[in-house]
Amino acid sequence: MEQLKELEQVQNIMLMIQSTGAIDSSNNTNADSNRFLANFILFMMQPCGELDMNQKCKLISNHFPKISSAFNKESSPQLCDKGNIGIEASQSHHCDDDMSVGLLQTDCADVAMVTLDSMQRANSTLQDFCRSYFMFHEMDANNAESIFKYLPLLSFTESYIYQLDTINEKLLQLPSDGIPDSDMMTPDWILRFIKSFKTDTFRPLAVLLESYGIYTDRIRDELKCGEEYWALERKLCSALTNKQEIQMEDVMKAIHLKSFDYRVLNLLLYQLNGKDQCEDQ
């Protein structure tokens, strides 16, 4: 829940500067300004070479007056035009991009694909899964043959889940209704993906597993738990952002559902080994 942690950090910064009287917490009309200040302070706290906070403040004091509104108006169109050219070129040549949302572009809508970044992020979870679960399948986590026997499918599945988790974090940046503002330049394929993510999130992965004859009702149910977890994550993050009360039962349920990927991998191993899964697994 990386996005949730970031929101908690911003919230803590806001409470801290409110306690000093630097911002007015009673005026809701200043909510955007307060959040901007909190994000800016959090940004200033990030390490940058050997610069300390005083040096950073001095740099801002010296250079920000030169960045006038006129400068922004003149430079923004140029930056946007260059950015759009790069985006269009990237989308025209690739089915996946750095944001891991390319798997539902027009020509690869039902094809499950993963990015290298997702595979790298999934690596630590796979290592932990091998150490924790292989023993229940009479497999040796220290034996290369055991590890590589089913690694491609296990790695692909976990990477695909990590990829969807990244996309869910991107959805948290959208308005509460999950629909981009009309003034946002959002490609049609992203709009289609947002709709698909909330209605049939795991369809490409399910199609792939079905083609290998290893997609079971138990696996489908665990993937449903993943959808429920991401929905809860969006709900909790939205509550934090809007200073709404968080229900403890939602937090506890999210904690339980979060490990759904381990259960999916465990069920896949039973199928790959040609064994019936235990009822308590």
pLDDT tens figures, 162-213: 989 988 887 877 665 555 555 444 555 556 666 667 677 899 999 999 999 9
Q: Does this model's pTM top 0.75?
A: no
- Which among 233, 237, 238 has a CA at the least distance from the CA of 254? 233
Q: Over the stretch 94-142, which tens digit does the pLDDT of each residue have?
A: 444 444 444 444 345 567 888 899 999 999 999 999 999 999 999 999 9
User: Which structure tokens are listed for 179?
Assistant: 């629909």
Residue 27: per-residue pLDDT:
56
Q: Over the stretch 44-54, which tens digit does the pLDDT of each residue have?
A: 888 888 888 88
Number of C-beta neighbours around residue 164 at 10 A: 24
Q: Over the stretch 221-244, which tens digit does the pLDDT of each residue have?
A: 999 999 999 999 989 988 888 888
Domain segments of the chain: what residues? 1-67, 98-281
Q: Give the largest Cα separation in the chain, rounded.
A: 69
Would you say 154 and 271 are in contact if contact means Cβ atoms under 8 Å apart?
no
Cα distance between residue 144 and residue 63, in whole Å: 56
Phi and psi torsions of 140, nearest 5°: -100, 115
Q: Using 50, 70 and 90 to split pLDDT, how confident is the model at 23?
A: low
- Which among 239, 238, 235 has a CA at the least distance from the CA of 254? 235
Residue 102: per-residue pLDDT:
43
Q: Which helix (H) or strand (E) holds 85?
A: helix 69-93
Q: Using 50, 70 and 90 to split pLDDT, how confident is the model at 62?
A: confident
User: Which structure tokens are listed for 207?
Assistant: 């199609």
Residue 261: per-residue pLDDT:
97
Q: Over the stretch 30-45, which tens digit does the pLDDT of each residue have?
A: 667 777 887 888 888 8
Residue 94: per-residue pLDDT:
41
Would you say 155 and 126 are in contact if contact means Cβ atoms under 8 Å apart?
yes
Residue 34: per-residue pLDDT:
75
Distances (CA, A) of 130 to 94, 124, 220: 33, 10, 22
Residue 279 predicted with pLDDT over 60? no
Cα distance between residue 95 and residue 106, in whole Å: 9
The most confident of 5-9, 106-110, 254-258, 261-265, by mean pLDDT? 261-265
More confident residue, 210 or 13: 210
The mean predicted confidence, pLDDT, of the chain is: 77
Cα distance between residue 242 and residue 64, in whole Å: 30
Q: Using 50, 70 and 90 to split pLDDT, how confident is the model at 88?
A: very low
Residue 47: per-residue pLDDT:
85
